[in-house]
Amino acid sequence: MSGWHLEITRDALKTLGKIDKPMRRRLQTAIDNLADNPRPNGVVALTSEPGYLRLRVGDYRVIYRVEDERLVVVVVDLGHRREIYDR
């Protein structure tokens, strides 16, 4: 069991609910895995938003931040790669 907790913003949950079911399952699995390893291989720090990380899941991106002092991973946004950076 990991000491990390997940928090997902209301906007991220709303977006997740609009995604087709197979991709939603993949995204949920990837997000759940962040509780075990908040900085998995392949994660990239966003240059436009210091302190935020990007996780690639197929054509979708999960934007999140890690709060080490609280042992919390906060998923702030997710979306298709064409749209996620325009928000």
**CATH number, domain with residue 9:** 3.30.2310.20
Q: Is the pLDDT of residue 25 over 70?
A: yes
Q: Is the pLDDT of residue 1 over 60?
A: no
Q: What is the Rg, in whole angstroms, of the alpha carbon atoms belonging to the chain?
A: 12
Q: Are 18 and 77 in contact (CB under 8 A)?
A: no
Q: Are 62 and 55 in contact (CB under 8 A)?
A: yes
**0.85 surpassed by pTM:** yes
End-to-end CA distance of the chain: 34
Burial class (CB in 10 A: 0-12, 13-18, 19+), 65: middle
Which of 22, 73, 27, 64 minimizes the C-alpha distance to 43? 64
Percent of the chain scored above 90 by pLDDT?
91
Q: For the chain, how many structural domains are there in total? A: 1
Per-residue pLDDT tens for 38-55? 999 999 999 999 999 999
Domain carrying residue 9:
5-86
